């Protein structure tokens, strides 16, 4: 153990039950080894309301810390080692534009239900709550899209068009019932020329890490590793997912690796998602099967969180200098509503 790790371990020991360190699976191993709770977006959100520690330190990107702040009980504060780590996709949906587009869509009286991926700002979650919608994660997007479709004449899925397409495919909603919105800095471009009457309206955002996987990569993997199984995260393009053997959230990919290791020793699994996770799974199951990344893919924002920054935030907290995440008062309730709707629909 290096001195940073030793210092973190000492603070954790001294803090006991008063401190809980949470980490998303995309964090690197030097951070993950200090976490009391690890998970994908859904698992972490589900755990937060039940945490009794008064200080929660969240290792992940900003929207995850914000969601934890919304869901943490009375008297709990959330701190982040690197509050500047910001999901690149959540930045693709500025609140001013999201509001302008939603207002344009409902102007004619059509009942549009917003469904916001958890990878969005607090303000977008609040807007979603205000318009009767809910949040979803990649693990429950099918259930939540089905929920939203039953409540309106159409759904606007924000901001990941790839996840939106993949979930619509799973629900059997045809391509001609979907439309990727054409938007400029002010709102919808020529709304009268866009097929806005379609069931699923997709915000034109994407995760630049997952969107870089291309169909040829899957074909190439099958040549390189004959007989391999290929699985990927649903933030990948639908053309990629169509060539994979299965797709699912981060927790699905983890379970899939464990299942392949158990059921098919000696086989090869290729995983299309963030590389930190793939390397961890490869190391975990190396005695049973081979696991390779579909391509290089490190999320630079997740990588901003380091063991040194984790130690620094812990020292600040124990020294009484720790600044918790603050959530703008007027956004708190509508944003929380959109998150709790998700937890209620999917079971807490």
Residues that bind ligand SF4 in the complex, under the rule CB under 6 A:
61, 87-89, 119, 207, 209, 235, 274, 299, 301-302
Q: Which is nearer to ligand 13P, 112 or 147 (CB)?
A: 147
Closest approach of Cβ 232 to ligand SF4, in Å?
13
Q: Residue 138 touches which of ligand SF4, ligand 13P, none (CB < 5 to 8 A by kind)?
A: ligand 13P
Q: Residue 325 touches which of ligand 13P, ligand SF4, none (CB < 5 to 8 A by kind)?
A: none
Closest approach of Cβ 68 to ligand SF4, in Å?
15
Helix (H), strand (E) counts: the chain: 14, 15
Q: Which is nearer to ligand SF4, 19 or 236 (CB)?
A: 236
Residue 335 has a CB neighbour count (10 Å cut-off) of 29
Q: Which is nearer to ligand 13P, 207 or 278 (CB)?
A: 207
d(CA 288, CA 259): 11
Closest approach of Cβ 305 to ligand SF4, in Å?
11
Nearest CA among 111, 115, 144, 138 for reference residue 128: 115
Q: Which is nearer to ligand 13P, 5 or 303 (CB)?
A: 303
Nearest CA among 37, 124, 21 for reference residue 79: 21
Nearest CA among 301, 222, 293 for reference residue 257: 293
Q: Quick one: tokens of 73?
A: 């009980």
Q: Quick one: tokens of 222?
A: 């099958």
d(CA 279, CA 116): 30
Q: Where on the chain is the footprint of ligand 13P (CB under 6 A)?
A: 40-41, 119, 137-139, 207, 235, 249-250
Q: Which is nearer to ligand 13P, 66 or 235 (CB)?
A: 235
Q: Quick one: tokens of 245?
A: 């053997």
Q: Residue 69 touches which of ligand SF4, ligand 13P, none (CB < 5 to 8 A by kind)?
A: none
């Amino acid at each position: 153990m290096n001195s940073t790790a030793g210092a973190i371990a000492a603070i954790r020991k001294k803090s006991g039950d008063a401190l809980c360190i949470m980490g998303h699976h995309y964090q690197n191993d030097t951070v993950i080894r200090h976490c009391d709770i690890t998970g994908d977006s859904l698992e972490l959100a589900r755990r937060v309301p039940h945490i009794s520690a008064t200080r929660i330190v969240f290792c992940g990107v900003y929207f995850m810390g914000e969601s934890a702040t919304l869901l943490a009980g009375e008297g709990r504060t959330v701190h982040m080692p690197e509050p500047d780590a910001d999901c690149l996709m959540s930045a693709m949906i500025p609140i001013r534009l999201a509001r302008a587009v939603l207002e344009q869509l409902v102007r004619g009286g059509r009942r549009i239900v917003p469904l916001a991926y958890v990878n969005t700002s607090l303000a977008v979650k609040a807007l979603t709550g205000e318009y009767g919608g809910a949040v979803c994660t990649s693990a429950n997007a099918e259930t939540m899209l089905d929920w939203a479709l039953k409540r309106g004449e159409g759904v606007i899925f924000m901001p990941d068009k790839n996840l939106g397409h993949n979930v619509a495919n799973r629900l059997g909603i045809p391509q001609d019932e979907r439309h990727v919105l054409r938007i400029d800095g002010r709102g919808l471009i020529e709304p009268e020329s866009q097929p806005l009457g379609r069931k699923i309206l997709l915000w034109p955002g994407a995760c630049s890490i997952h969107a870089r996987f291309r169909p040829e990569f899957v074909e190439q993997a099958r040549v390189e590793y004959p007989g391999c199984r290929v699985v990927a995260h649903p933030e990948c393009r639908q053309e990629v997912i169509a060539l994979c053997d299965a797709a699912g959230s981060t927790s699905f990919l983890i379970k899939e690796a464990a299942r392949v290791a158990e059921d098919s020793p000696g086989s090869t699994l290729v995983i299309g998602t963030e590389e930190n996770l793939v390397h961890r799974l490869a190391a975990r199951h190396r005695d049973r099967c081979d696991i390779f990344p579909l391509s290089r893919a490190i999320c630079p924002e997740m990588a901003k969180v380091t063991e040194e920054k984790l130690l620094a935030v812990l020292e600040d907290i124990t020294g009484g200098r720790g600044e918790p995440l603050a959530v703008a008062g007027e956004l708190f309730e509508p944003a929380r509503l959109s998150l709790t709707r998700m937890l209620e629909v999917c079971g807490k």
